Amino acid sequence: RSWGLPGNRQPLAPAGASERLALIDVMRGAALAGILLANIRGFAAPAGVYFNHEKFWTAPADVAVQTFIDIFVQGKFITMFAFLFGLGFAAQLERAEARHGRFVPVYRRRLLILLIIGLIHGLGIWWGDILAPYALAGFGLLLFRHRATKTTAWWAFGLYMLPMVLFLGGAIAAAFGARVPGLPTPDAKSIAETI
C-alpha cells in the first residue's frame, strides 16, 4: 500500500522485493527461532516454573537441553532481534528521506499497531510479550532520528548500562542487609496444582 503525499513527495510504501536484503530477513527468522527456543518453556509449563525450570524438568536429557539453551541461546537471539529492529528503523528512515516521504506519521502508525498487538498478546495470551516494549522503544527511537552520532552513542551507552547499575545497586544493598524482592520459588505441589 502506498501512502499518498502532497506536493512532489513520492509515496512511502513497503520495501519492494528489489529493495529487501535477504540476509536481514534470514537473520530476523533465525532470531525469532532462537527467541522461540529460549521461551518455549514458558508455553510448556506454569509461569512460576519459567525462572525455576530445574523444579519441573529434572530428567538428564531435559537438564542437558536447558544447559545448551542457557549457554548458546538465552539472551543471544533477543539481542540480535533488537539490533535488527534498530536497523529496520534506520533503513525505513533512510528510504523515506531519499524519497522525501513523511516518515514519522507512518512509523508512528506502525508502532501503534505493534503496541496494540503486543498489549493483546501480553494481557490475553502470554505474560512474556516483547512486542509492546519494542513499540515503546520505537517511539523512543523517533527522538534520536536527527541527533548527532555522539549524542546517540552516549544515550545508548547510558541506557545499556542502566540495568547493570541497578542490578549492582541491588546487590550492594543486599550485601548490607537490605531485603531485595525475588521471584517466588514454586514447590512440586503448587506446580501440580497449577497444571
Q: 0.85 cut: is pTM over it?
A: no
pLDDT at 112: 97
Over range 1-7, report the average pLDDT: 44
Over range 20-27, report the average pLDDT: 87
Is the pLDDT at 10 greater than 60, yes or no? no
Distance CA 95, CA 84 (A): 16
Q: Which residues of 158-185 are buried (b: 16+ CB within 10 A; e: fewer)?
A: eeeeeeeeeeeeeeeeeeeeeeeeeeee
Distance CA 193, CA 195 (A): 5
pLDDT at 14: 59
| Confidence category of residue 6, pLDDT binned at 50, 70, 90 | very low
